[in-house]
Structure 1
Amino acid sequence: MDRRELAAFLRSRRERIAPAEAGLPAGPRRRTPGLRREEVAQLAFISAEYYTRLEQARAPRPSREVLSGLARALRLSDAERGHLHHLAGVPPAPASAPSREVRRSILDLLHRLPQAAAIVLSATYEVIAWNALAAALMEDFSALPRHDRNLARRAFLGPNLAGRRLYGVSEVAEFAASAARELRATAARYPDDPEVAALVAELRSGSEEFARLWDSHDVSVAPSLCKTFHHPLVGRVAVSCDVLDIADRDQRVVIYTPDPGSPSEEAMRLLSVIGTQRMDVPG
């Protein structure tokens, strides 16, 4: 543990964060640049006394839990998070569960795609971020509990009213096969994660199709380049489907874009105006 370097690093990261970035009022008498020590301690869920000792190079080695709290409170990047662990003499632990934390740059990217519907999927097919057009095309994910934002669960166990299984996607069988294969690989990467195990058990017990696909032991996945949605308000929407891997988070950005000048592009423009205000038709 390099106490002096750790102390200097913590001070430098604390002083660069404006209070507003952490959701804190600046206050009329704030003299310290960035956050106060007690504010960082509060955000990291540790005592102010212990954090002060860290910055004074007098504290004992912090645990991984403390370092995780500090990384969150100080809004550290992935590189900074790793550096923090190494200064503390506590190498980062390998991921034991799929990450649900989406980088700010990826969130910004979603909202800079006004003519495309885009979502971020975790390794378990949970929708963990989306833009407004994706909510209009698929579903208002903000109105759903986390349990219902999982596309694999939706594909195998969700409603199929009026033949609109999985938002009316024509290639739903292809998607289902791909999801089962991806989940088998995910289960191998995170063998000790209870959420992954529970999801697989739920799908196997509730869907004969998933059980059959799971028992095939296939893990190879062919890319799906096109999707066709059948939307209850604007009808058929054909889109290109591009998937960008975020390898360090084990996540994927899925981008749906219509061909320029096509009827589907017009449909997407209409959806951008309609938004989710009339999304009361079950999918």
Structure 2
Amino acid sequence: MSHREELSRFLKSARARLSPGEVGLPEGERRRAKGLRREEVAALAGMSVTWYTWFEQGREIQLSAPMIERLGRTLRLSDTERDYLFGLAQHRPPPLASRLDEAIRPATRHMLDALAIPALVIVADWTVVGWNALVTRAFRDYTDMDRPERNLFKILMLSERYQRNPENFREMAARLTARFKWDYSQAGSPEVFDDLIEEMTQKSAMFREFWQCSAIQAHFGGENSSRIEGVGRVSFVHSSYAIEEAPSQRLIVFAPKSAEDAARLDRLRALEPELAVS
């Protein structure tokens, strides 16, 4: 079966499961087939009946992304179904959602708690929305922090603890800003960055400098260290991964850099049993 054939089947199925009453139309006379008519879908989506008919028939026509979005809303598609429609129609992922998805899924929460290393989840503007107990002990506790204060980019760029070595801080600031610019460029709704960019412009000369540079970094990773009370300094290698069920979220994990660092992390979990992985 070709993509176009599956697109036709999928649209007919989505149309058939909706009743006129569900979309604000009068039920009217008895219908020969259940669901909405093609002309009703076209009218609700702001399309011509001819274009919708050809599209549903699987003809080789192209609809713009906004038009596919309207069609998806008309057919009451779920987020997964929306992605599927874009894949069939345009052979590529849909545009990023305009809102930040900050809901931590149960599977993600389970993984965070099960990991034996620090791990956290951020959304597109770098706001931390999930973390495990080891992050709280190794870095900071986000529990009582208001949302604007849980922004990892702002924490790393403005906190004095990262500025004690000017040379290292400058290298870190350049790298972080280059990645931050990439995330800004990919955002479905870049205005969510506006307040943060304005605040950083006012508060950080380093940000003002690197924001004007052309350097861009499309991956997130590097090394960091933290002095943890009771175990000493632990060095980490950190990297990030997209969360498949929430594409706008990123999981950042902090793996011990060496065997000695791993031993110190083990000692931390031994000292505080509540940090142990169940």
TM-score by length of 2: 0.61
Q: Is the counterpart of residue 154 in structure 1 residue 155 in structure 2?
A: yes
Partner in structure 2 of residue 6 of structure 1: 14
Q: 1:208 to 1:263 in 2, by over 3 A?
A: same
Q: Which residue in the other structure is 1:219 paired with?
A: 216
1:170-218 Cα deviation digits (max 9, x unpaired): 9654433222111222222238522112211211111111111112221
Contact conserved, 1:100 with 1:122, CA < 8 A, in 2? yes
Matched residue, 2:133: 132
Q: Which of the pair has more CA radius of gyration? A: 2
- Distance change >3 Å, CA 5–CA 92, structure 1 → 2: farther
User: Structure 1's 255 and 213: CA in aligned 2 closer, same or farther, altered over 3 A?
Assistant: same
Amino acid at match of 1:111: D
Matched, 1:198 2:206: no
What residue in structure 1 maps to residue 54 of structure 2? none
**Residue 178 of structure 1 corresponds to which residue in structure 2?**
175
Q: Deviations over 1:12-46 (max 9, x none)?
A: xxxxxxxxxxxxxxxxxxxxxxxxxxxxxxxxxxx
The 8 Å contact of residues 238 and 255 in structure 2, kept in 1 or not, is answered as: yes
Residue 255 (structure 2) pairs with residue 257 (structure 1): yes
**Alpha carbons 1:148, 1:154 under 8 Å: kept:** yes
Residue number in structure 1 paired with 2:61: none
Shift of 1:155: 1.9
Q: How high is the sequence identity, in percent, across the aligned residues?
A: 21
CA distance in 2, matches of 1:222, 1:100: 20
Shift of 1:246: 4.4
Equivalent AA in structure 2 for residue 57 of structure 1: G
After TM superposition, the structure 1 = structure 2 runs for residues 77-96 of structure 1, keeping only pairs within 5 Å, are: 78=80, 80-83=81-84, 94-95=95-96
| Structure 2 unmatched runs, 5+ | 1-7, 28-33, 46-68
| Compared CA separation, residues 191 and 83, structure 1 to 2 (3 A) | closer
User: Take 1:191 and 1:84, find their aligned partners in 2: how far apart are those partners?
Assistant: 18
Per-residue deviation, residues 234-271 of structure 1 (Å, max 9, x unmatched): 43122232332448724432111224464422343157
Residue in structure 1 matched with residue 108 of structure 2 by the alignment:
106
Q: Is the alpha carbon distance of 1:148 and 1:222 closer, same or farther for their aligned partners in structure 2, counting shifts above 3 Å?
A: same
| 1:28-39 superposed matches below 5 A | none
Match of 2:51 in 1: none
Contact 1:187 1:197 in 2 (8 A): no
Q: Structure 1 residues 112, 193: closer, same or farther in 2, change over 3 A? A: same
Q: Give distance in 2, aligned partners of 1:272 and 1:52.
A: 61
Once residues 237 and 198 of structure 2 are traced to their aligned partners in structure 1, the CA distance between those partners, rounded to angstroms, is: 32
Deviates more, 1:185-194 or 1:204-213: 185-194
Residue 83 of structure 1 deviates from its aligned partner by 4.0
- Asked whether the 8 Å contact 1:136–1:271 carries over to 2, the reply is no
Q: For the aligned residues, what is the CA RMSD?
A: 4.5
Q: 1:57 aligns with which of 23, 35, 38?
A: 35
TM-aligned CA deviation for residue 51 of structure 1: 9.1
Shift of 1:273: 3.2
Q: Residues of 1 paired with 2:17 and 2:22: CA distance?
A: 18
| 1:98–1:250 contact (8 Å) kept in structure 2 | no
Which range moved further: 61-70 or 236-245? Answer: 61-70
- Structure 1 residues 189 and 224: CA distance shift in structure 2, 3 A: closer
Q: How does 1:15-34 map to 2 (within 5 A)?
A: none
SS of structure 1 residue aligned to 2:215: coil
- Per the alignment, residue 269 of structure 1 pairs with 269
Normalising by structure 1, we get a TM-score of 0.60
